[in-house]
Amino acid sequence: MHHSINRSFEFSNIREHFGSGVSRRSVSVASTAVVPKTLRTSVDLHDRISADLDSECETAEPSQTVQTATAGTRSLASLLPNSRFFSGRDVHFCSIAESAATCEPGQLVVYRIGLDSPEELICDALAHGAAGILTEQILPVPLPQCIVADTDRALAELAAQDSIAENGLRPDQRLLTIGIVGENGKGTTALCLATILRDIPCRVAYQTDLGHSDGITKEVSEQTKLTGASLMDHLSQAADAGAAVSIFELDSNVLRRGGYDQIGLDVLVITSNSSARSDFGPSAVHCALERVRNDGVVVVGNEDRRSKRAISELGLTTLTYGVNISADVSLQTIGVQDGVLTGMIRHEMNSAMMESHLGQGVFTASLAAAAAVGVATNNPLVQIAESLSELRDLPGRCQCIVSDDWNVSQASPRMLLDVAGSPHRMEFILDSLSGQRQSSSPDVISMNPHARAHISNPAKVWCVLSISSGDNEETLARYGRLLETMADHCVLTCEPSSKERFLRLSHCVLDGVDDCAAIRLVADQDRAIAWAAHAASPRDTIVVLGGVDRAAPHTQRQDLQRLQDLMTGLQRQVAGTVAKPVSQTMLKVYQPEG
């Protein structure tokens, strides 16, 4: 359904329903502070409001400088007034070099601890005539050096200053920014939300671990998650491409390190916050809340009391969502049949029916959260429901592997693929599937003879879990407890890169298991999936969790495609060994006498 509506962000109307947003903190004049925006009652998403940037653009001129500024150069002391300098009082540079090896005269070289070799960087910087070095520690080189606490944050601030000089606004002030934080469902929520907003219609940019988009082109790159300067560049490119909205995931570790301190959020979506409280620094949710503008909106689950308490303390406007509970925006599930979720979205006195093929009906919370943001951006429920119904399976998000051959799908077990990555995600997937387990008496008797032979057998859940050397002992033991208590049959394997340590890792998993003989250990992931496929009956469900390299979208897509091809081939192989083509006619045609 495509219709013309006012693409507005009506914060004033939202506050009347969900409470007022009070200013929670004074705005710092430091270079890393985000200047708040004042949004009108009705604002077109393509028109960003100009903010007062005087406090941010004020820079202290250095008292003395060793270098002499030339035309076209920039002063690092003016751009980063809180930094310190060694072998000089300032660095005047023309641009930032991609690397020391490709540096040109007058460019600024960046030294990243742990990534760059200091000896090679010093030699290249001197040989190519670098103007100076941006670093976190002093290097033994007779070049001016700018010492900062974090080079990534400094580069992000430089990128923001470039955007101010070119457009008069920071990149995050040129479009509507929506950040998503939580333990599970960030990428799914982001893509659901992008689907809703694209149907307004407006151009939407997004950044997830499955890929990036600037609103026009989609990219599955080899680059890791965008943070700091790379995220600033992504926002600038999206704004230049005419995008009205930018949606991006917020990494918990990067949040704690301050990797998003140069970004201001108009909307923050909290997907889940069930981790135990830590005594070592703030939580990721608290760090994300600090990035929300004073007039922003936080979309949070109605059962997440800890996050709601933190939001209330900061005086932010809140919009709650929930599944089968009372909330500002709720999703009432009617049922899940053959992987299709039927439900109803409700907001105040309005409601809309919807069907979703996403993730076998598992990601109900992501659908509700995306619907809540759709309501916050003043979209009708009917349009939100139709947009969510159009979204199909996402790679590695409880993805159902289905064969094109009907006989193969009937004679082989159902296979699901999920990237997992944490015990909490594993528990979420298995708990959701347990409520959808097929009954012992199916509504329809299959025409496949092998499938009919297993009608009397109850459907079971097989879990093939891949562990990695990056999991600690506590995490592995928790995996063992979940395997034993939430699955009927368990197969433990590992990622290809962790085969040498599989025996040691598996012992840690067995520490959380009472009956060690109940878990089958297979070091090779492909053989583990193959064993489960041949041992399961056609009415069973095999859930393959983990075993995917999520370092970058490109590598993740490659691993997911490899597993998908493997599972599709196993389905054909299983169907071919247990059910040969039937030569006789299965249906008799009724012919009346005479």
Residue 82 has a pLDDT of 87
Q: What is the pLDDT of residues 7-65, one digit of tens each?
A: 344 433 433 433 333 334 333 333 333 333 433 323 333 333 233 323 333 333 333 33
* Rounded Cα–Cα distance for residues 342 and 357 (Å): 9
Nearest to 11 by CA among 50, 45, 48, 43: 43
Residue 167 has a pLDDT of 83
**Whether the predicted pLDDT of 582 surpasses 60:** no
How would DSSP label each residue in 455-508? TTSPP-EEEEEEE-TTS-HHHHHHHHHHHHHH-SEEEEEE-GGGGGGHHHHHHH
Residue 457 has a pLDDT of 64
Q: What percentage of the chain reaches a pLDDT higher than 70?
A: 79
How would DSSP label each residue in 108-122? EEE--TTTS-HHHHH
Do the Cβ atoms of 109 and 130 come closer than 8 Å?
A: yes
Residue 274 has a pLDDT of 58
Q: Is domain 164-275+282-390 given the CATH code 2.40.30.20 in the classification?
A: no
Please give the backbone phi and psi of residue 571, each rounded to the nearest 5 degrees, phi first: -60, -45
Do the Cβ atoms of 372 and 320 come closer than 8 Å?
A: yes
* Rounded Cα–Cα distance for residues 453 and 116 (Å): 63
In terms of CATH architecture, what is 74-149? Answer: 3-Layer(aba) Sandwich (3.40)
* Rounded Cα–Cα distance for residues 34 and 29 (Å): 9
* Rounded Cα–Cα distance for residues 368 and 346 (Å): 10
* Ramachandran bin of 87, using left for φ above 0, alpha for ψ from -120 to 50, beta for the remaining angles: left
Helices marked H in 91-224:
118-127, 151-167, 186-198
Q: What is the pLDDT of residues 122-175, one digit of tens each?
A: 999 999 999 999 999 999 989 999 999 888 889 988 888 888 888 888 888 999
**Whether the predicted pLDDT of 466 surpasses 90:** yes
Do the Cβ atoms of 367 and 355 come closer than 8 Å?
A: no
Residue 283 has a pLDDT of 86
**Whether the predicted pLDDT of 494 surpasses 90:** yes
Residue 593 has a pLDDT of 61
* Rounded Cα–Cα distance for residues 366 and 193 (Å): 9
When pLDDT is averaged across residues 68-86 and rounded to a whole number, the result is 80
Band the pLDDT of 381: cuts 50, 70, 90.
very high
Least confident of 64-68, 99-103, 250-254, 275-279: 64-68
Structure-model confidence comparison of residues 404 and 371, the more confident one: 371
Segments of the chain assigned to CATH 3.40.1190.10: 164-275+282-390
Residue 153 has a pLDDT of 87
Structure tokens at 394: 């996402």
Q: What is the pLDDT of residues 333-377, one digit of tens each?
A: 998 887 889 999 999 999 999 999 898 888 999 999 999 999 999
**Whether the predicted pLDDT of 233 surpasses 70:** yes
One-letter amino acid identity for 541?
T
In terms of CATH architecture, what is 399-439+459-579? Answer: Alpha-Beta Complex (3.90)
* Rounded Cα–Cα distance for residues 39 and 52 (Å): 13
